[in-house]
Structure 1
Amino acid sequence: MNIRTMPVVAVLAFAASCSAFAADSIKIGVSGPYTGGSSPMGASMRDGVRLAAAEINAKGGILGRKIELVERDDQAQNDRGVQVAQELINKEHVVATVGYINTGVSLASQRFYEEARIPVINNVSTGSLVTKQFLPPEFPDNYIFRNAANDTIQSAMIVREAIDVNKYTKVAILADSTNYGQLGREDLEKALAAKNIKPVAVEKFNVKDVDMTAQLLKAKEAGAQAILTYAIGPELAQIANGMEKLGWKVPMIGSWTLSMANFIDNAGKNGEGARMPQTFIQEPNTPKRKAFIAAYQQAYNPPNGRIPSPVSAAQGYDSMYILAAAIKQAGDTDGVKIRQALENLQEKVDGVVTTYDHPYTHDDHEAITMNMVVMGQVKDGHVVYANAADKANAVREKASGKAKK
């Protein structure tokens, strides 16, 4: 059975039976927000992980053992994430965890995995600090990995789109007050400073705020030609809708979260044209992507066929396959051996985002490089390629000293 033919019942049966697996199953944690404003990202990531795990189990599992996913809702709350991490490590005895959507939750929680020497693959969380918390000499080995485009990459792409491509000279930054928003704001300001540009306004807001009038008025009065954003879907929609209320419309260019369904749906026509970096756009432009999209739609039947957060789903799926390859290579479920295998992965992993060829080394735990990321654009309620050339050249391998840019 493969991703092209796997019936929906296989995924649903897998999800329902995880807790019933025998003691010799391989337990893997899946931590993310499955409720609340971040849930489109969390649920899509989880569902991508489920698809991959179901496929792997259908082919015999890993080392002759079935994967058992231990899923926990961290509710996008730092303290809840800490509780979940401790439970997965100490009670469930997971051999590794995939997930983390929110940068703050990741930074608060993953220290427990570092202490326990159990690997984590961050498959959505993008804060630039995420993979840099535990570096030498204080920490000889780092157990934190990622297969998402970090905010250093994204902020540079956002600024390039605004300044180099569109020639704007006056931009405002609107970012939420979370770790994600404020670390992203810092990255944006650094990227702008590298081009000798200072934002004309820098404003923040809280999660669940519904009125952005004050922040938008400051940006408007400062003559902003574009709004650069770091936030998640619901609040991003309030920015777009707030501009409509003010009768003022300038482009929104922001982090990848402008692709979330709860931005696109809540903003409606006001979100049209918003641009953001993407590792994956829901287009069947390769056989692997076509199969993945079809399998996701068959298993979960999303409204209008649109994955709530395509990036999260694809990266979740890929993270499971990367981890499975490492466990297979290690020949063991010991955390140290899995980390060592991840850092010297011999087998190429055919993922949805890319083919992962030695994605990590001991000193580089980032699988995604800038050349692999494209700009997306909201059009008619979907995210499409902002540039036609990117659609034709959709899959790019990790950049190295000799890699193509």
Structure 2
Amino acid sequence: MFSIQSKIIPTACRLLATSLLGLTAAGALAQTTGGAALVPIQIGVIAPLSGPSADFGVPMLNGVKLAVDEINAAGGFLGRKLELVVKDDGANPDQGRKASEELAAQKITAVIGFCNTGVAAKSLEVFQNSKIPLIIPCATGTQLTAKYPAPDSYIFRTSAKDAVQSSFVVDDIFKRGWTKVAVFADSTAYGESGLKDVTAALASHGLKPVHVARFPIGVKDVTAELKAARDAGANAVFSYSLGPESVAIALGRKELGWKVPQVGAWALSFPAYVNVAKEAAEDTLMAQTFIVEQRGNERRTAFLNGYMAKYKLKSVPASIPAAQAYDSTYLLLYSLFGVRSASLDGPAIKASLENLKKVYYGAVATYDHPFSASDKDAFTANMLLLGMVKGGVVTYAYPADIKRNVFAQRKQ
């Protein structure tokens, strides 16, 4: 590590290891002794490291690794190293379920995981029943944090759920006068959830989609559906898919010469869309939690510098899952320091996450009580930015957000 990060992170970790979080000396001693060698704390990570979603699953894992390396370099958790147990779910629900069961059988301390809504949905009960805290840094399906009553739930999330993203984008396009919206959603759980949330967001403005198109993942040609949307009078296309399918929509619009805006959730910022659709992606609008530009605050700049140095990159593709996973790892660390007993068990970590004593100044946001017993989602609409594709990169849709983004937003 270097630059700002090399000074900030070790200092933060040392401060956390003191009584600032209210740990008693006896409690700290109990957590760090009891044998000649300190036992590492095992943290599970589940992500699509192969298959169609690897382009954002790998950055998610890399964000966790970067944070763990920093934490361990600064002494870990009271002298105990964090040790990752990594599983590849391949964007496959059954493979993800098997990986989750393996981690639960291993009695892992906590898990950071999932990029795909459908994969996560099939595994939630494994963690809930095992009382293992799960922090989701990537998957956005609204239903994931709603499956269990909030006070009992072990499912936490640091990505902006689809209901928040959809409302945010619909509110914006309504102000622009784009009130005849066609919704194109893939047939996965992600697409199903997104369609439901976009429809609800439109209904809040007294609107209905003028056309709804559903399609399987991997589709290459949606010309017929685009023509139907055009004939229905659509003046905006809201696409809900993870990249390649949205490319088909963008290229189809270009081929038809149909110059209507394409809008959507954060997935429209992924390289699988922007870099492949190229000119057809120009002016696309999407919800964002993190925009890669060096005009942010020093915490974001330090994260980007650290990430690029560690992985020898000149830019950070799929920066949102990387940054959110990075922050999730530190939030988990903060929760460990908040446990007041010698046992770092699931219920104790869950209770600590719900009542974090210290504010974490992260790469994506300022986390001031991001979770509670009644709310397991860390993001609210005020924390979102509207991104726009310009010249093949995602930038700010509104110049005013450049200045606003210097100050990391807090949950409302």
**TM score, norm. by length of structure 1:** 0.90
- Alignment of 1:81 with 2:117, yes or no, is no
Superposition deviation, residue 63 in structure 1? 2.8
Superposition deviation, residue 211 in structure 1? 1.0
Q: 2:402 aligns with which of 381, 391, 401?
A: 391
Q: 1:354 aligns with which of 352, 365, 378?
A: 365
Aligned partners of 1:208 and 1:235 also within 8 Å: yes
- Alignment of 1:173 with 2:183, yes or no, is yes
- Alignment of 1:315 with 2:324, yes or no, is yes
Aligned partners of 1:326 and 1:342 also within 8 Å: yes
Q: 2:46 aligns with which of 28, 31, 35?
A: 31
Question: How has the CA–CA distance of structure 1 residues 290 and 59 changed in structure 2, closer, same or farther, with 3 Å as cutoff?
Answer: same
One-letter amino acid of the counterpart of residue 79, structure 1: D
- The 5-angstrom pairing of residues 220-299 of structure 1 reads 220-284=230-294, 285-299=296-310
**Which residue of structure 2 aligns with residue 151 of structure 1?**
162
Superposition deviation, residue 370 in structure 1? 0.7
Q: d(CA) in 1 for partners of 2:125 and 2:401?
A: 37
Superposition deviation, residue 397 in structure 1? 3.6
Q: d(CA) in 2 for partners of 1:154 and 1:54?
A: 32
Residue 145 of structure 1: SS of its match in structure 2? Answer: strand
**Which residue of structure 2 aligns with residue 135 of structure 1?**
149
One-letter amino acid of the counterpart of residue 315, structure 1: Q
Question: How has the CA–CA distance of structure 1 residues 202 and 25 changed in structure 2, closer, same or farther, with 3 Å as cutoff?
Answer: same
One-letter amino acid of the counterpart of residue 174, structure 1: F
Superposition deviation, residue 333 in structure 1? 2.0
Please list the CA deviations of residues 133-190 of structure 1 after superposition, one character each: whole Å capped at 9, or x if unmatched.
Answer: 1116xxx5110001111111111012112212x1012110001100001111011001
- The 5-angstrom pairing of residues 61-100 of structure 1 reads 61-90=76-105, 92-100=106-114
Aligned partners of 2:368 and 2:411 also within 8 Å: no
Please list the CA deviations of residues 60-116 of structure 1 after superposition, one character each: whole Å capped at 9, or x if unmatched.
Answer: 0013210111111111111111011001111x3211001211111111112100000
- The 5-angstrom pairing of residues 370-381 of structure 1 reads 370-381=381-392
Q: 1:324 aligns with which of 325, 329, 333?
A: 333
- The farther-off stretch of 250-259 and 329-338 is 329-338
Superposition deviation, residue 2 in structure 1? 6.1
- Alignment of 1:113 with 2:127, yes or no, is yes
One-letter amino acid of the counterpart of residue 141, structure 2: G
- Alignment of 1:208 with 2:218, yes or no, is yes
Residue 104 of structure 1: SS of its match in structure 2? Answer: helix
Residue 373 of structure 2: SS of its match in structure 1? Answer: coil
Question: How has the CA–CA distance of structure 1 residues 301 and 212 changed in structure 2, closer, same or farther, with 3 Å as cutoff?
Answer: farther
- Alignment of 1:43 with 2:52, yes or no, is no
Aligned partners of 2:46 and 2:114 also within 8 Å: yes
Residue 159 of structure 1: SS of its match in structure 2? Answer: helix
One-letter amino acid of the counterpart of residue 149, structure 2: L
Aligned partners of 2:117 and 2:189 also within 8 Å: yes
Aligned partners of 2:169 and 2:264 also within 8 Å: yes
Q: d(CA) in 2 for partners of 1:307 and 1:328?
A: 30
Aligned partners of 1:113 and 1:120 also within 8 Å: yes
Q: d(CA) in 1 for partners of 2:326 and 2:3?
A: 11
Q: d(CA) in 2 for partners of 1:367 and 1:145?
A: 8
Residue 88 of structure 1: SS of its match in structure 2? Answer: helix
Residue 27 of structure 1: SS of its match in structure 2? Answer: strand
**Which residue of structure 2 aligns with residue 16 of structure 1?**
none
**Which residue of structure 2 aligns with residue 11 of structure 1?**
none
Q: d(CA) in 2 for partners of 1:3 and 1:54?
A: 16
Q: d(CA) in 2 for partners of 1:186 and 1:310?
A: 26
Please list the CA deviations of residues 313-359 of structure 1 after superposition, one character each: whole Å capped at 9, or x if unmatched.
Answer: 11010000000110121154211100000001001112101121111
Residue 398 of structure 1: SS of its match in structure 2? Answer: coil
Q: d(CA) in 1 for partners of 2:68 and 2:316?
A: 18
Superposition deviation, residue 396 in structure 1? 4.1
Residue 85 of structure 2: SS of its match in structure 1? Answer: strand
Q: d(CA) in 2 for partners of 1:278 and 1:217?
A: 29
Flag structure 2 segments of 5+ consecutive residues without an equivalent.
7-36
Please list the CA deviations of residues 260-282 of structure 1 after superposition, one character each: whole Å capped at 9, or x if unmatched.
Answer: 01101110110011111111001
Q: d(CA) in 2 for partners of 1:59 and 1:301?
A: 22
Q: d(CA) in 2 for partners of 1:228 and 1:306?
A: 28
Superposition deviation, residue 44 in structure 1? 1.0
**Which residue of structure 2 aligns with residue 160 of structure 1?**
171
**Which residue of structure 1 aligns with residue 136 of structure 2?**
122
**Which residue of structure 2 aligns with residue 15 of structure 1?**
none
Aligned partners of 1:52 and 1:321 also within 8 Å: yes
Aligned Cα root-mean-square deviation (Å): 1.5
Q: Number of residues paired by the alignment? A: 378
Residue 110 of structure 1: SS of its match in structure 2? Answer: helix
Superposition deviation, residue 5 in structure 1? 6.2
Larger Rg: 2
**Which residue of structure 2 aligns with residue 199 of structure 1?**
209
Flag structure 1 segments of 5+ consecutive residues without an equivalent.
7-21, 401-405
Question: How has the CA–CA distance of structure 1 residues 194 and 212 changed in structure 2, closer, same or farther, with 3 Å as cutoff?
Answer: same
